Structures are given as C-alpha cells and as structure tokens.
Structure 1
Amino acid sequence: MARLFLAILIISMAATTPPAQAQAPTNWAKRLNPGPDTVTNLQFYFHDIPSGTNPTAVEVVQPVATASDSNPFFGSVVLVDDPLTETADVGSKLVGRAQGMYTASSRNEAAIFMSMSFGFVDGPYDGSSLSVMGNNLYGNPTREVPVSGGTGIFRMARGYAVLRSVAVNSTSGYVVVNYNVTVYTPAAAGAY
C-alpha cells in the first residue's frame, strides 16, 4: 500500500510541475529578440587566372572524362586564390580574394561545384568573409549560387549571388565574372 501511495504521489507531482520552458531564464543564457535582418548588397568582379606567370587557379586533379561525356573537364579539381576587384579590370581596386576550390561536377553540361570563401580586405568589410557553396552552371549567361555563411560582419549570413560572365578567353582560360551578392545577416550576430 505504501508503494502505491508513493507512486500516486510521484505521478501527481510530475503532473503539477511546470514544463522546463516555463521556468525562469538562467544567468548564462538570454533569449534575444534581434529584430529584422541586416541586408547587404555587394557587387564585385572575380578573376580566375589559370595560366601565365602568376596563375591564381591551379588544376590539381586531371579530368577523367570518357568518350561518352559531353563535358571533357568532368572530374577535374581546381584550387583557387583569385582576386576580387571593384571593376572588371584586374588592375582595379582589390576588395578581396576568393579562396577554395571548384570541380567539374557534370558529365553532360558546363557545371562546376564551388566551395569558396570570399575574404574581404577593404572598408568596413576588411577581415570579414562569405562562404559560397553550390553548383554553378557556368554555361548559362546568368546563374545563381547560394551564400551559406560568413564571418565578421557577415557572421551567420545567408543569401545568394547572381553571376554573369563578362569576359572569357578560351585560349588562356582567363575568366572574369561579375558577382551581385545579396546577404542577410541577423542583427544579433554583430561583428567580432
């Protein structure tokens, strides 16, 4: 009988105990109400230079394409440390560098999978970066890739980049791409 009473007492106490989320907040964690996101638009030019005396893009894995592939670059992997500039002229003001890699990811279409960090070196964005990771259908005149994160001013960023090729040299492989980037950053993320 004592055991039954104890079981009923424990069940009734559990039923009257408020759920954990209704308890008072602790001193080490605060629930923030940051308000709207900060929206930033960036426009710059990406210069991919795979040849010459000072290349910024280096192929580290050769293509494995077969006769049935319509993309002869399929399987190649390229590491980059490409300049990001204010205008399409590679000699214009340097605003950052794109560092990372891309790989020819489709056997049948002009597509690369990009995984890069755009580290900025100018103005209030100096020391901040954006991460871009996704499929780039470079055969299309306009395409879109996701912004998957960031650091500094862009901590916890999300967004997208619209890309347009503005110059392509088929002999040297040199490519200039205009990036129009829209970034949403939570107001609570703040700078470091």
Structure 2
Amino acid sequence: MDRSLILAWILVLCTATSPLCCKGYYSNSVLYVPPAKKVTYLHFFLHDTMSGKNPSAVMVARPNMTTAFNKAPPAFGSVFATDDPLTVGPDLTSEVIGNAQGLWALTGQNVPCLTVYWDLGFTQGKFNGSSISVFSRNPITQTERELAVVGGRGKFRMATGFAKLKTYFVNFTSGDAIVEYKVTVIHH
C-alpha cells in the first residue's frame, strides 16, 4: 500500500474514534433536562388609563408633525410607556394582582393598531414575583383579538402561549380602556 493511503486511513480511524475516547473529558456535569411542560390559565383585567392626574400610559415619542399635536388624537408612530394595573375584576377598585409594564406603539396607518411589548408581572398569589412577556400586534378596533406570549420568568420560565383579549370598556375621547385577558401559558 501507498504511504499516503495508509496515513489517510490512520487519520480517518483517529477522527472516528476520538469522540469515544474523550467522552466525559471536558465536563463531568449532567445534561440539563427541563421538567415536563405545564399549562396555566390566567384571567384578569388590564386598565390602560391615559387621562387624569395619574395616567398609567404616557406618550414618550411622537412622529414629527407640523400640526398642533395636543389637539389631535395620537397618530401613527406615537409610542407610549405603560405601567397598567392588572386586576381580578373589571373595576379598578377590585384586587390588584400585578401590572403591565412596557411599551405600545401606534403602528396602523389606515386602521388603528398597536404593537405591544409588555411584561405582565404578578405581585399577588401563587405567581407573585413571576411574569409573562407579550410581544404582538394588537388590532384594537376588533372587540376580540389574540396576542402572543413569547417568554416569562419565575414560575413562567421559558413560557409560550397566547392571550385572548376582549375590550370590556373604551373611551375613544380620553383613550382610557379596560381589557379582559384570558391567557394560556405553556411553561416548565
């Protein structure tokens, strides 16, 4: 046999057997196996208040416009920061179980639509200290719509799922709204 052919066979055999020889050499740790997935159903109301002395949603950016903005409703491209309370019932006086902190932007040019990023953090009950992250398109003119759950922390670590939204109340003059959330969270 030719020397180069013998050398090639030796390299092939060494390459093929090296993973077997080195098994466990770099790490003695056990592979992480996530626990079985769980499904949790949540029901609450979000209060998005833009009016009054203590609004929970405030404009932080607006498009460059030549008209007097304060006299017109928020326009396409406006961005709002929120710290909206989450309650057990539709009344703002019902038990507060958390808050929705994040941003929403008016992203519909012809039909009012928001793109929202919220961290829905829970401050009461068995999910205290945990949150779910929502990042999705929110077509607000539809009474019922669905948002994507894209993550979470605490008891909702590695969450996915969806939130079914239903407008409970809206005041188109002030921009105030109460929205019912029925959330299905799939998590570890």
| Length-normalised TM-score, structure 2 | 0.86
Partner of 1:120: 122
Query: Between the two proteins, what is the percent identity of the paired residues?
Result: 40
Gaps of 5+ in 2: 67-72
Residues 47-86 of structure 1 show CA distances to partners (whole Å, capped at 9, x for unaligned) of 00101011110011224589xxxx9621111110010000
Partner of 1:98: 100
Cα 1:175–1:91 change in 2 (3 A) is same
Residues 92-113 of structure 1 show CA distances to partners (whole Å, capped at 9, x for unaligned) of 1001000001001110112100
Give the whole-Å Cα distance in 2 for the aligned partners of 1:164 and 1:33.
Answer: 34
Aligned residues: 180
Matches within 5 A, 1:31-46: 31-32=32-33, 34-35=35-36, 37-46=37-46
Letter paired with 1:76: S
Letter paired with 1:152: G
1:129 to 128, 131, 141: 131
Partner of 1:10: 11
Give the whole-Å Cα distance in 1 for the aligned partners of 2:75 and 2:30.
Answer: 51
Residues 127-175 of structure 1 show CA distances to partners (whole Å, capped at 9, x for unaligned) of 0011000100111010000000000000000000000000011222210
| Length-normalised TM-score, structure 1 | 0.84
Give the whole-Å Cα distance in 1 for the aligned partners of 2:57 and 2:158.
Answer: 28
Contact 1:102 1:112 in 2 (8 A): yes
Cα 1:63–1:13 change in 2 (3 A) is closer
Letter paired with 1:60: V
Gaps of 5+ in 1: 187-192
Partner of 2:163: 161
Give the whole-Å Cα distance in 1 for the aligned partners of 2:41 and 2:143.
Answer: 21
